[in-house]
Amino acid sequence: MLEQRNNKKLSQRRDKIETQKSEFVATGSVRKNNYVPQEILSSWKRSAASIKPSPISAPLDDYEVSHLWQESPLSIAAKHQQDNMKQLTREGELVVAIADPQGRLLWTYASNHMQRRAEALNFTAGGHWDERSVGTNAVGLSLNLKKAVTVFSAEHYLPVVNDWVCYAAPIIHPQSGECVGVLDMSTTWRRHTPLGQAAVNDFARSIARALPMNLPRAELEIFALGEPYIRLHSRKIKLPLRQIEILCLLALNPEGLSLEHLHAVLYGDASVSPATLKAEVSHLRHMLGGAIGSRPYRLMMPVWGDFLHIWEVLHQQKSNEAISLYRGAFLSQSKSPELEEWRYCISAVIEQAIESCSDPRMLIEKLRDNTSRSGLVRERLIDLLTP
């Protein structure tokens, strides 16, 4: 009797979601949203803009990804829980998967109940389950929100996944705070239970605790290729662009810069007062515990920058390594004259490296990163693969 009541509730929930999903597909919105969480509705809107036409399965890498799993720190961290996850997967008639930060599945294990279903949708190693590839799903949504999510039945954007319920949780590195992957457990919607999400959350936390420590390259680490941020004593910090610009300029000029010189290379001809620059430096000095000297301004703590590292690798003519390190343009929003020049130089040499790259697998990997040079990567890959 209890099972019948539960099945009836699940069926009613599914019907209500399908009604609102049909309204969204027809009109692009939902007039009165009582059953679909706002985060799901927002994901539907993102999916509608990127998924055309509707695929019947996830994109699948056409090469073996087992080497990526073996080389991933997630593989080391998950070892002590894999037997437990497999046992729960068999008993709960589930499929379990661990994805990388781009939503690509690196490892999966399926029960008899789910194996054929998973294979039909490419919910297997090498399948891409980010939102841009397959729309609303637990792996992609968890990566997007950086939190645990359940996606039930028709909450999935693709109709081919509407028979599933999926539980996912991000795997957050306890030292750096970065999302290094996602754990997902899925089954058919009639087997939905809140305990599924609780189990996934526990496994994800356990895997995170077992991750290898990220030893800092320096006390201050500046990441300015792609989305800019810094790490101070291994702790990730987001700063305004202007302050990251100042740190980059000081890192590029270790001998130091006078107030006038720093003002010139930062602002160019813009009419910004020296007092404004002094206030920005003062804020940074306080944040760094006093580790910015004056007269001239200079960093007084060990510093590492991804832009410095990639330039050194390029200087050593290690083109393939440089391509793998490139995550996007150097401070793409910066108007600083000196930083614009550095951006141009790094981009130009990276383009040369891509145009001379002869490793298709590396280019395929880079294409999945969606960097600002993906068009050039695609052209080079076509050149290599076209007879």
| pLDDT for the residue numbered 371 | 60
Contact 310, 346 (CB under 8 A): yes
| pLDDT for the residue numbered 19 | 87
Q: Which residues contact 338 (CB under 8 A, 6 or more apart)?
A: 249, 252, 265, 266
Closest CA to 193 of 231, 160, 159, 150: 150
Distance CA 99, CA 126 (A): 9
| pLDDT for the residue numbered 3 | 62
Instruction: Give me the numbers of helices (H) and strands (E) for the chain, helices first please.
Output: 16, 11
| pLDDT for the residue numbered 52 | 80
| pLDDT for the residue numbered 65 | 85
- Give whole-number Cα distances, 219 to 2, 79, 222, in Å: 58, 31, 10
E strand residue ranges, the chain: 95-99, 105-110, 149-152, 164-172, 179-188, 220-223, 229-232, 235-237, 292-293, 298-299, 303-305
User: What CATH number was assigned to the domain covering residues 220-385?
Assistant: 1.10.10.10
| pLDDT for the residue numbered 100 | 93
Selected from 3.90.1150.10, 3.40.630.30, 3.30.450.40, 3.40.50.2000, the CATH number assigned to the domain covering 51-209 reads 3.30.450.40
Q: Which residues contact 179 (CB under 8 A, 6 or more apart)?
A: 101, 143, 146, 170, 171, 172, 173
Phi/psi at 384 (5° precision): -70, -35
Q: Which residues contact 144 (CB under 8 A, 6 or more apart)?
A: 43, 131
Delimit the domains of the chain by residue range. Answer: 51-209, 220-385
Distance CA 207, CA 227 (A): 26
Which tokens sit at 1? 């009797």
Encoded amino acid at 380, one letter: R
Q: Alpha helices of 28-137 — where are they, by DSSP H?
A: 38-50, 66-71, 73-92, 112-120, 131-134
| pLDDT for the residue numbered 368 | 61
E strand residue ranges, 214-289: 220-223, 229-232, 235-237
Burial zone of 215 (CB within 10 Å; 0-12 exposed, 13-18 middle, 19+ buried) = exposed
| pLDDT for the residue numbered 216 | 81
Rg value, the chain, Cα: 24
Which tokens sit at 350? 């990276």
| pLDDT for the residue numbered 334 | 96
- pTM for this entry: 0.65
Contact 372, 329 (CB under 8 A): yes
Which tokens sit at 306? 């991804």
Closest CA to 137 of 44, 69, 45, 202: 44
Closest CA to 103 of 180, 49, 39, 160: 180
Angle at 45 between CA 105 and CA 8, to 5 degrees: 75
| pLDDT for the residue numbered 293 | 93
Per-residue pLDDT of the chain (387 residues; tens, 9 = 90+): 556 677 788 888 888 998 888 888 888 888 776 778 899 999 999 999 888 878 899 999 877 788 889 888 999 999 999 999 999 999 999 999 999 998 999 999 999 999 999 999 999 999 999 999 999 999 999 999 999 999 999 999 999 999 999 999 999 988 777 889 999 999 999 999 989 999 999 999 999 999 988 778 899 999 999 999 999 988 888 899 999 999 999 999 999 999 999 999 999 988 899 999 999 999 999 999 999 998 899 999 999 999 999 999 888 888 878 888 888 899 999 999 999 999 999 999 988 888 887 777 667 666 665 565 667 777 777 777 776
| Total Cβ atoms within 10 A of residue 145 | 15
| pLDDT for the residue numbered 381 | 72
